[in-house]
Structures are given as C-alpha cells and as structure tokens.
Chain A
Amino acid sequence: MTELTIVQAINRGLAEAMRADPDVLVLGEDVGVNGGVFRATEGLHKEFGADRVIDTPLSETGIVGAAIGMALYGLKPIAEIQFVDFIYPAFDQIVSELAKFRYRSGGQYPCHVVIRSPYGGGIKGGLYHSQSPEAYFAHTSGLKVVIPSTPADAKALLTTAIHDPDPVLFLEPKRIYRAVSGEVPDGELRVPFGVARTAREGADVTLLAYGAMIPTCLQAAETLAASGVQAEVLDLRTLVPLDEAAVLASVEKTGRAVIVHEAPRFCGFGAELAAILAEKAFFSLKAPVQRVTGYDTPFPYALENMYLPNAERIVHAARATLAAG
C-alpha cells in the first residue's frame, strides 16, 4: 500500500501497465518530455522512450485516429486528450469510428483504445476547461465510459480499461486530482466494469453520483447525519456499463433518490438514471426523484462555485425527498 493522490495513482497505473506489456503505449499533446500538463504521464517518457510515449502534433482527431489505427494493428494505445473540452475535434473519430469499428466490421476489427481525459469544473477553467460531456459518450453505443473518484479506483479502473477488449473513455475528475489522496495497493489491481461502489451506507436516501461529486456527496451525507438522516452514497464508477442492479437495490432500500452531476441537467446522465428508477423502482419510491446538477447554461468562469452542485444543494434536495413522504 502506498498513499497516493488520484493523479499519482493514474501515473502509477500507466507505468505498471507499460512495464507489463510492450504493446501498451501513450500518445497525446505534451505527454512526453513535459509529462502532461497535469503530470499524469510524468517519468514515462524517460523510462519508455519517445516511441512509446509519443508527443503528438496538436490535433485531437489525429491523436484518436492514429490511436485507432494502432489498435487495429494490435497495439494497446492510451490516448490523452489534454482537457475533455478539446475532445470535440475527435468526436467523429470517437463516435463514427472507434465506437463502431467492431460492430460495423461484423466483429472483425475490435478497437481497444483507451482515451484518458481530465473533465469537470472546480479549477477556475471557465467554459473550455471545465465541462462534463459524459452524456454524449454514454449515449454512443459501443463506448465504455468510466469515471473514478478515489486513487485506488483510478489505478484499478485504468488497469481494467487498458486490458478491456472494447474502447474506453476514461474521464478523470481533475478537481480532485490532488485534493483526494488515499491508500493504493501496489502491483496490478483491477476493478471490474459495471460494479458500483457504496461510498457510504445509509437507509434513508440514496445519493447517486460519480467522479468529483462523490466527495461533495459525502460531505452532504455528513451534514444530513448530524440531523439524523442516513444517506447512502453510491459511486457509479462506470456509466457504461451501468450497475443498474446496485442503483435499484439502493433506491428500493431507501425509497428516495437524489442524482448529482456537474453536467447540465437537460438530457444529462441523471435523466437516464431517473428514467430507470421510474421504470423499475416506481413502487419503491416514497418521493419524486431529485436532481442536483449544473445549470442549463455554458460553464461560467467567475460564478463557477455557484454553478457547481455543492453539499448545501444536495442536502436541500435530500430534505425535499424526505419532506415529500
């Protein structure tokens, strides 16, 4: 066990995967000599060389397109998109190509690319260094979408992603890259996809969240506990595949659900969760489902902290579910 931050755990996961398998390589902007703008690839260039830790030209579609070609040829590329806000030039490669290669070729061409990218607000990044676009990608059949919230999960889920036969979008909560640290087991460790983690147990209300919203939900749960309300915090960890069974089991137990994400509300991932609860847990619900999300505006710079869901808003929503019945 070693005490690591999330970004250190990711770095550790990358290094260990590269040591174990010569087909694993990293490519992206500033990932080599510079070690990545968040230092997630620090030291890799020195250890593995410029052919395996590839500083690319500034073109996201080129990065993902080249990674797809490498994967088709049998390598296991890990592409870094410096901020997920800059992933859109690669949208065509991800949605039209990466996600569909296995299907469109009748299974002839699996395409196991991992795309790592920091997402989310909280670093004073304004419109273009703060977004949470997970819903676009979760909506795309053929892509897996993974978002860790702890250092141990960051390393273990990344390791699973690298060995997964399917393309994975691995979104890293940059707001808690260094704010959260924890014990991370040494050596290879994998967490299976599609298995949610109960971050805190409780019987009165379920908080459904992922990524940087997990610490915020835990903070809200502390506040609720002070007034005798036991909130359960479920960390989804993988949006695709989704651990629907865990979501339903928790909400059937508590009868109340608050869904929390940074992304705007309209057609956000929370809408899918709410629909699942309406379809499959309707008769267990004691109150309408609540959503605490970013507003349906672009991500604001100066008002960032008022835009992002915080513990107070989550507590308020949880109390609303309790007041309803």
Chain B
Amino acid sequence: MAEASEVAQPGGSDGPADLPKAELPKLYRAMVLARVVDERCLTLQRQGRIGFYVPLQGQEAAQVGSAWALDPEDWIFPAYRELAVALVRGVPVKLLLDQFIGNSGDVLKGRQMPNHYGYREFRFVTASSPVGTQISQAVGAAMAARWKGEEIVTVTYFGDGTTSSNDFHAGLNFAGVFKAPTIFFCQNNQWAISLPRERQTHSETLAIKATAYGFPGVVVDGTDVHAVFAAVRAARARALAGEGPTLIEAQVYRLGPHSTSDDPRRYRTDAELAKWKEKDPIARLKHELLTASVWTEEEDATLWETTRKEVVAAFESAEATPPVDPLTMFDDVFAERPAGLELQRASFAELLKDGGLKP
C-alpha cells in the first residue's frame, strides 16, 4: 500500500466514526431499497417501459455508508450512478421513477436520460453525462459556502474512469490550493465500461493521486458500510476544521453492466464476477445484522417483499402520471424566452394543434 493511502477503520481517530448498532438496520433497509429499485428498473428497461438505465449493484454500501455520514445541509455533486445516495437523501422512489420515464411528475421536465436527476430540495445537484465536470463545480461550491460562512461540505461522487478526466485533476488541484471543504468520493468499481482499473492508470491506487495535490487519499473497502462511514466522517471533520479536502477511494465492484446498453461478458470473466459476488455488500451487512441479533430472517423476508411491492406500486403510479407538456421544451433555456425562441415556440404550438407532431 502506498504511503499516502491507508485503510480506514471504523472508530478512526478523526471524529465520531462508529455507526450506532441501532442504526444499522436503517442502512440495510436503504441498501435493499436501492437493490430492489435497481432490479426492477433493469426489468422495466428490458420491457421497454423505461428507455435506459444505469445500475449500481455492488456499490450500495459505498453509497449508503457515505451518504449516511453527511449532514442534510451538505451539498452532493453526483455522477449518474448514485441512486442509493439519492434515496438516503430522502428522494421519494416515485420521483426518481418519474424522471426515468420523463413524465409530467419529473422535476427535470423530461429533459434528461434516466439517472441524470437532481433535486435542489435535497441538495443533490442535477447530474450530466460528461464525466468529471461535477468535480471542479463541487470545489467552487465549497469555496462559496466557506465565503458565506456556512458550515457545510460538498461531496462529489465519480468512478475510477473519471480519475483520468480533465476536471478530476483541475478540481483536486484547486481544492488543494484553496483548502476547499470538499470530499472527493471515488467509487472504484474496477471497470470504466470495458477498461479495467489497471489500464486506467499506472498509479498504485487511485487515492494516491491526492498526494500530488497535497492532501490525504484514503482507500476503503467499499463493501464495508462501517469503513465507508468512518472515512467520510473523518474527511468531513477535517474539511470543517479548515484542513482541506480528502480523496476517498472506495473499492467496490460493478456487479451489473455499465448501463443497459452494455454487455460486460465481452470484456470480463464469469470467475471474476463470481469472486466479487461473494463480497455482495447487502449479503455482508445482512450477515452482520443476523450475527448481532438485531435482525431476523423473518424480518428480512418481509422487508424484501414489502419493498418490492412498494416499488411496483410506485412505478405503476409513475406510469399513470401524464406525459410532459410538449411546450415545456421551450422553458428554462434562459430566465426569459428571447424573441427568436418565442417565435419557434409559437410555430411548434401551431404544429402541435394541427396534430403534426407525435412524441
């Protein structure tokens, strides 16, 4: 292990790092909910009821553990795979499903592909597809929060592939120079579509890259919710103490495809997948809960069953939500529509009225 990196352990020295035992079933519930939504969405995509989907299976502990360590006032700059983070933030499943369909319930007004949601109310900034662009934005927001005297941190999520992007380096460099209260949370899921981690960078770890920018990089087992929670708590305490940013590399595995358009059998082996399936974070936490006698098999069966029912009901409700109003296409380009766009909207409205346009 590189000198700058260390495997964080629960109960680390930098703050309240232990997850109270009574909280663990709550984290488990969030992870199960994420898994159920994920499984359901993969099915719905195959059925053609949503157009596309980006699964997160295998990354639930990294996402739930990290989000659990934050304050509700903290700002999150996600990529497009952070479903469980959104759920921990309190985003209702129905609202997420509205976005996946792009209906009139979608806060984004049907403008983005599935998984690119964002909710100001939950301090969860709307995602985009280019990788890494959110990183330097998170740094700017952290600088702004400090300038306004607000005691919050910004947390940005990204994957192993993004550590090669322009904004990863620009953002980390800015954060180091300005000691921005930002946490860089990298979910190293071992694969950037078809490119394996060892071909992404010759660095020994991803976390070690922080060393060059003058702040700590930490490697954690991303299937261990305790380790993740502890690392983020420590990074948060450090940021709020004015000591600057931290890069956390949570080592996980993307159990599913990159997206529903991807077939991972083209580039990785069944044996590798089987090895990581043994480290399924949900099975791991369930085992811990059962061993600690804070959870029973009966409770578990009930949880999966009721969660599945709730998600099915939420999707039925989302599917019954009316489609987006086509004329909203012309809103929000600017605060006010310029004259030229107003004319385009009027001409579009005429075509619409004549029945010359179909969704």
**Which residues of chain B have C-beta atoms less than 8 A from A73's C-beta?**
75, 140-141, 144-145, 148
Q: Quick check: B133 and A67 within 8 Å, CB to CB?
A: no
A106 to B137: give the CA distance in the assembly, Å: 19
| Total count of chain A residues near the partner, CB < 8 A | 50
Query: A62-B173, A69-B154, A241-B340 given as contacts; is B120 within 8 A of A105 (CB)?
Result: yes
Partner of B334, one of A65, A109, A142: A142
A70 to B178: give the CA distance in the assembly, Å: 13
Query: A92-B130, A108-B120, A144-B334 given as contacts; is B170 within 8 A of A59 (CB)?
Result: yes
Q: Which residue of the partner chain B has the closest CB to A25? A: B147
CB of B87 to closest CB in A, whole Å: 19
Q: What mask results when residues 137 to 167 of chain B are scored 1 for a CB within 8 Å of chain A, else 0?
A: 1111111110110000010000000000011
A318 to B103: give the CA distance in the assembly, Å: 54
| Total count of chain B residues near the partner, CB < 8 A | 49
**Which residues of chain A have C-beta atoms less than 8 A from B335's C-beta?**
102, 110, 164-166
Partner of B173, one of A25, A57, A245: A57
**A5 CB-CB contact with B under 8 Å:** no
**B136 CB-CB contact with A under 8 Å:** yes
Q: List 11 A-B contacts (CB under 8 A).
A: A65-B133, A65-B135, A65-B171, A66-B143, A70-B144, A71-B140, A73-B145, A93-B136, A101-B126, A108-B119, A241-B340
Q: What mask results when residues 106 to 138 of chain B are scored 1 for a CB within 8 Å of chain A, else 0?
A: 111101100010111000011011100101111
CB of B97 to closest CB in A, whole Å: 16
Partner of A69, one of B144, B339, B340: B144
Q: Quick check: A65 and B332 within 8 Å, CB to CB?
A: no
CB of A81 to closest CB in B, whole Å: 14
Q: Which residue of the partner chain B has the closest CB to A93? A: B133
Q: Quick check: A68 and B128 within 8 Å, CB to CB?
A: no
**Which residues of chain B have C-beta atoms less than 8 A from A66's C-beta?**
136-137, 139-140, 143, 171, 174
Most chain A beta-carbon contacts within 10 A, residue among B137, B147, B178: B137
Most chain B beta-carbon contacts within 10 A, residue among A93, A104, A164: A104
Q: Quick check: A109 and B125 within 8 Å, CB to CB?
A: yes
A71 to B332: give the CA distance in the assembly, Å: 16
